């Protein structure tokens, strides 16, 4: 997949329609089922509500399309990537790389948290130039999902 085969659109607050959000929640669900083996079915169902709300409220929602079909999305708040999910049928084809690079170059992303129990995601971000700067035992909502805190290498503060 090349960047010529996909298009990106930032979906503005207030202009995100219910159909788009429903499609992105389903995309998220399939992606999580395939990659987040540490999340139970019950937890995933509970998280669907949180994700749906977040998709409506996140400052910047960048959606990657192949034709008219959303195949991935990134949620950005200031300089932090809050979420990046690719449809399971598009894993390892470059959509995640293109979304992340757009988020970095156009929206100034330089930080992200990744679930410690998702080594594939951690390796992806390392390959993209992020380094581990810390760890927490719980996620931002206080759940028992340890997080690794990552920053883009070029933004690391020097001692």
Q: What is the pLDDT, as a whole number, of residue 135? A: 96
CB 50 within 8 A of CB 141: yes
Which portions of the chain are predicted below pLDDT 50?
156-159
SS3 63: strand
The pTM score is: 0.86
Which residue, 79, 22, 81, is CA-closest to 55?
A: 22
Q: Which residues of 55-80 are buried (b: 16+ CB within 10 A; e: fewer)?
A: beebebbbbbebeeebbbbbbbbebb
Q: What is the pLDDT, as a whole number, of residue 8? A: 73
Can you read off the two tokens belonging to residue 141? 């909502």
Q: Determine if residue 22 is left, alpha or beta; phi over 0 gives left, psi from -120 to 50 gives alpha, anything else beta.
A: alpha
Q: What is the pLDDT, as a whole number, of residue 29? A: 92
Q: What is the pLDDT, as a whole number, of residue 158? A: 40
Q: What is the pLDDT, as a whole number, of residue 46? A: 86
SS3 47: helix
Which residue, 69, 134, 89, 80, is CA-closest to 107?
A: 80
Ranges of each domain in the chain: 3-155
Superfamily (CATH) of domain 3-155 = Gcn5-related N-acetyltransferase (GNAT) (3.40.630.30)
């Amino acid at each position: 997949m090349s960047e010529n085969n996909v298009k990106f659109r930032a979906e503005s607050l207030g202009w995100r329609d219910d159909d788009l959000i429903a499609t992105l929640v389903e995309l998220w669900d399939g992606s999580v089922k395939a990659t987040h083996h540490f999340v139970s079915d019950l937890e995933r169902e509970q998280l669907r509500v949180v994700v749906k709300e977040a998709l409506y409220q996140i400052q910047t929602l960048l959606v990657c399309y192949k034709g008219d079909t959303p195949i991935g999305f990134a949620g950005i708040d200031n300089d932090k990537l809050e979420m990046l999910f690719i449809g399971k049928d598009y894993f390892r084809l470059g959509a995640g790389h293109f979304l992340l690079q757009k988020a970095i170059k156009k929206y100034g992303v330089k930080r992200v948290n990744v679930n410690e129990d998702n080594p594939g995601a951690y390796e992806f971000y390392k390959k993209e130039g992020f380094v581990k700067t810390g760890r927490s035992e719980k996620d931002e909502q206080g759940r028992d999902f340890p997080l690794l805190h990552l920053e883009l290498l070029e933004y690391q503060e020097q001692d």
